[in-house]
Amino acid sequence: MKIVIVGNGRIGRAIAGGIRRARPSWPIRTLGRGDDCAAAREGEVVLLCVKPQQVRGALEGFASALQPGSLVISVAARTTLADLRAAIPACVGVVRAMPNLPVSELVGMTAFACESEPKDLERAEAVFSLLGRTLRVEERLMDAATAMNGCGPAYAYVIVEAWIDAGIKLGFSYETSRTLVAQTLLGAAASVLASKEHPAALKTAVTTPAGCTIEGLLQLEDGRIRSTIVRAVIAAAEA
Ligand SMILES: NC(=O)c1ccc[n+]([C@@H]2O[C@H](COP(=O)([O-])OP(=O)(O)OC[C@H]3O[C@@H](n4cnc5c(N)ncnc54)[C@H](OP(=O)(O)O)[C@@H]3O)[C@@H](O)[C@H]2O)c1
């Protein structure tokens, strides 16, 4: 599959890096600002990785050059399938995707919506399933997906940063604390994905009666961690 990535910023580089890692033999061309974007005509799949306000200008530069039967996958937040379709010829497929930066480590989470063509979604999944998990959602939920998994790593990094500070306060070096925290979060996430149990049941398994975990949990509840997280994600979805 010949892939062209238009937009060589954070998410464009993360996707390119992930694909090169997962499929070293796939031809990928990355086009940044100033490059001849009409070269997107080489792509069977063209990934549009520019900011929402740059989408229209970027598509004006290459949409008419696209091969019939090729596919444009836009990762731009808030840019709807209707916005994309208005600028892309009818003979070219359109998929809206919301990945996140861990695609570079092949543990990304990508949500998709498309107009109606299952073969377009299948091609999009063929690319992004190399880079982690994928889910199809209704287009009305794509802004919510942006807040959940697109922005999500930032929320996790805030928690990781504070938790590492706690380790440093307790006497660990930064490197040791970072490993303790990151591997613990990875393990917790793996348990959630592997288990049919609700996270509350997984939490109970860690919480010995009158033990130290419940002391920590009480502090989190005093800090309103649940309502803070819910409100943070909703604020991002409505921004
Ligand atoms: N960052 C994330 O975690 C993430 C996750 C999921 C989705 N997204 C979405 O991905 C999109 C890009 O985000 P980003 O964080 O990667 O932004 P970014 O770092 O600013 O990258 C966008 C890149 O596209 C370039 N560009 C702009 N117009 C172009 C054109 N006509 N042709 C070729 N390149 C062009 C920009 O160049 P200049 O710098 O010269 O303008 C910039 O290098 C956004 O729509 C965002 O909603 C981002």
Amino acid at 15: I
Is residue 103 within 8 A of residue 13, CB to CB? The reply is no
Given this model, what pLDDT does residue 48 score? 98
Give the tens place of pLDDT for each residue, 121-138.
Answer: 999 999 999 999 999 999
Least confident of 30-44, 85-99, 128-142: 30-44
Mean pLDDT of the chain: 96
Given this model, what pLDDT does residue 38 score? 85
- Identify the H or E element spanning 126: helix 118-128
Given this model, what pLDDT does residue 1 score? 86
Give the tens place of pLDDT for each residue, 192-206.
Answer: 999 999 999 999 999
Q: How far is the CA of 24 from the centre of ligand 1 (A)?
A: 24
Bridge partner list, 93 = 71
Q: How far is the CA of 35 from the centre of ligand 1 (A)?
A: 14
Q: How far is the CA of 49 from the centre of ligand 1 (A)?
A: 5
Bridge partner list, 98 = 111
Coil vs helix vs strand at 149: helix
Q: Provide the 8-state DSSP code for 8.
A: -
Which residue owns the Cα nearest ligand 1 atom 13?
51
In the structure, what pLDDT confidence band is assigned to residue 94 with cuts at 50, 70 and 90?
very high
Q: All domains of the chain, ordered by start, with CATH?
A: 3-146 (3.40.50.720), 152-238 (1.10.3730.10)
Tell me the torsion sign for CA atoms 113, 119, 120, 126: positive
Contacts of 131 (CB under 8 A, 6+ apart): 15, 18, 19, 22, 99, 103, 106, 108, 110
Q: The pTM is what?
A: 0.95
pLDDT at 116 over 90: no
Which amino acids bring their CB within 6 angstroms of ligand 1? 6-12, 31-33, 37, 49-52, 54, 57-58, 61, 75-77, 98-101, 150
Which residue owns the Cα nearest ligand 1 atom 37?
33
pLDDT at 117 over 90: no
pLDDT at 115 over 90: no
Given this model, what pLDDT does residue 2 score? 95
Pocket test for ligand 1, best of 33, 78, 79 (most atoms within 8 A of CB): 33
Structure tokens, 175: 């490197």
